[in-house]
Chains A and B, each alone.
Chain A
Amino acid sequence: MGDRMLEVRIDRKIFGTEPVLRDIGFTIRAGEVVALLGPSGAGKTTLLRILLGLDSAFQGQVRRDHRRVGVVFQEPRLLPWLTVAENIRFVITGGMPPPDIQALLESVQLGHAGSLHPAQLSLGMARRAALARAMAISPDLLVLDEPFVSLDAQLATGLADAVAAYARSTGASVILATHDLAQAVQRVSRFLVLAGRPTTLCADRPAASTSPANLLRDFPFLRAENATAEALPLAAIPDYCHRNNNQRGECDASPA
């Protein structure tokens, strides 16, 4: 997995006539755990869909070397007619090593739930099952879209630790999209901050040289209480982004 890379360059992405993403470029190397930060509605999911190849209607280029990509969508997207174990087995296709499903479920504290159907799970349990499904294919790129929403803090922390440990032990790359800085801060190697209208990449900072306090000072919309578009109108965000960039004389979205 050592030299696998993800290179993303989005010049423009339009919904209807409205540009929603512009001038976004970054590279993610093997073993990196990258937090994709931004308020709700900033376009994080749109960006993830583009780099997963689910949306090809954009100007730019995505180059992905990874062989197996595990995904956790914002919604669990478990097939309701299959049990949890069958949902995990569903994504295992020819050539993949058969996973130990019970061990996977136990790693997300769902050891008892293999024979249950999704309708018998709470939303938090379904999210954990979706995470187990993503890990089941031994991915070398793990894409997580708000995976810890609606989990209690202790459980979210435990799962975030498990994801980070997986990346360390396997050299897999991880992209974790979240609007909640607290979920990302301890475990990631880089922060990508998205904001503006249309959304652009406001910051690309290595975690080693950035404190959460600095991020919150520069991007107040990352505070949990400001994280929704309702709490902080998107129209106001370009000011933060603009001010942040101007303080350095240039956009600090250069690769780390």
Chain B
Amino acid sequence: MGRIDAAAARDRLLSLLGFLTVWWAGARIATAPALLPGPQRVGRFIWQECVTGALPAAFAATLTRVAIAFILAMAVGGIIGYLAGRSPRANAWIDPWLVIALNLPVLVVIVLAYIWVGLNDAAAILAVVLAKAPTVIVTVREGARTLDAGWAEMARAFEVPLRRRLRFVVLPQLLPYLATAGRSGLSITWKIVLIVELLGRPSGVGYTLNLLFQNFNVTGILGYGLAFAALMLVVETALLQPFERRATAWRSLGRSDGRSHA
């Protein structure tokens, strides 16, 4: 197993080196270096922006919006998804709204939020939550539909209080679904946040990318875009993936006859 993991890590590293090589070769061939700067030039730009403090400030503003919007979208989507999964009647009410929300272009949501709420952070975060929550609802609804009736019945028979049942019976079963929604949700959330910032905020990575675009600064666009994508990758690898592994760790113990009533 360790040998397979090491081989996979080596292959990933080689693949990344291949990407950098292709990028470097493309930059060498490009007739106008300003259109496709090489990796070294982009790397130097990132370093300079870090030294001046511009990049950390932009990252901090965007990360704050991503974190708030992500937590709100997960909470709202989780609660509505649970209700839709447990109650056919609630689902009948929620589903048409969900279909509309899922098919509404994100750009429309963002523009309407800015028009109705104003050009402020509340509108920005509202737009992200409205755009992201529907996918969380769909995922958690599937999880809520598969909740084990036998465990719920056991807890009821022992007259375990509702809060304790939610914490120890319902939540552990939903965690894998929440983890899946969280992983896919983070990558969508930060991309939406960049658009929101580009369209109407005076700070953050999206705002900076807009300025760089107006100056046709491809080095800057690549620098900010790639650096932020790398940061999100680190967040997913360091936080969300370990959380998902922990949430599903009991499954790796294997199934025994004593596991479930089913």
* Chain A residues with a Cβ under 8 A of chain B: 52-54, 69-71, 73-82, 90-91, 93-94, 117-123, 125-127, 129, 137
Does B5 sit within 8 A of A, measured CB to CB?
A: no
Q: Known contacts A90-B164, A117-B250: does B260 contact A75 (CB below 8 Å)?
A: yes
Chain A CB count within 10 A is highest, among B169, B256, B260, for B256
A79 to B250, CA, bound (A): 10
Contact B257 A122 (CB under 8 A): yes
Contact A80 B259 (CB under 8 A): yes
Q: Known contacts A73-B261, A79-B172: does B254 contact A119 (CB below 8 Å)?
A: yes
A56 to B12, CA, bound (A): 58
B residues in contact with A120, CB < 8 Å? 253, 256
Closest B residue to A83 by beta carbon equals B250
Contact A77 B164 (CB under 8 A): no
Number of chain B residues whose Cβ lies closer than 8 Å to a Cβ of chain A: 27
B residues in contact with A137, CB < 8 Å? 158
A117 to B259, CA, bound (A): 9
Does B191 sit within 8 A of A, measured CB to CB?
A: no
Contact A129 B157 (CB under 8 A): no
Contact B261 A126 (CB under 8 A): no
How far apart are B12's CB and chain A's nearest CB, in angstroms? 31
Q: Known contacts A117-B250, A117-B253, A119-B258: does B160 contact A73 (CB below 8 Å)?
A: no
Partner of B261, one of A74, A94, A122: A74
A54 to B257, CA, bound (A): 24
Does B96 sit within 8 A of A, measured CB to CB?
A: no
How far apart are A41's CB and chain B's nearest CB, in angstroms? 17
Contact A123 B257 (CB under 8 A): yes
Contact A90 B254 (CB under 8 A): no
Would you mind naming 29 contact pairs between A and B with Cβ atoms under 8 Å apart? A52-B157, A69-B159, A73-B150, A73-B157, A73-B261, A75-B150, A75-B260, A75-B262, A77-B153, A77-B154, A79-B172, A80-B250, A80-B259, A90-B155, A90-B164, A90-B168, A93-B161, A119-B253, A119-B254, A119-B258, A120-B253, A120-B256, A121-B256, A121-B258, A122-B256, A122-B258, A126-B258, A126-B259, A129-B258
How far apart are B171's CB and chain A's nearest CB, in angstroms? 10
A81 to B260, CA, bound (A): 11
How far apart are B24's CB and chain A's nearest CB, in angstroms? 48
A residues in contact with B161, CB < 8 Å? 93-94
Binary CB contact string for chain B from 79 to 121 against chain A (1 if under 8 A, 0 otherwise):
0000000000000000000000000000000000000000000
Chain B CB count within 10 A is highest, among A93, A119, A129, for A119
How far apart are B40's CB and chain A's nearest CB, in angstroms? 49
Does B10 sit within 8 A of A, measured CB to CB?
A: no
Partner of A118, one of B153, B154, B158, B258: B258
Q: Known contacts A80-B259, A93-B164: does B253 contact A71 (CB below 8 Å)?
A: no
Contact B259 A119 (CB under 8 A): yes
Does B44 sit within 8 A of A, measured CB to CB?
A: no
Contact A73 B154 (CB under 8 A): yes
Does B3 sit within 8 A of A, measured CB to CB?
A: no
Closest A residue to B254 by beta carbon equals A119
A residues in contact with B156, CB < 8 Å? 53-54
B residues in contact with A91, CB < 8 Å? 155, 158, 160
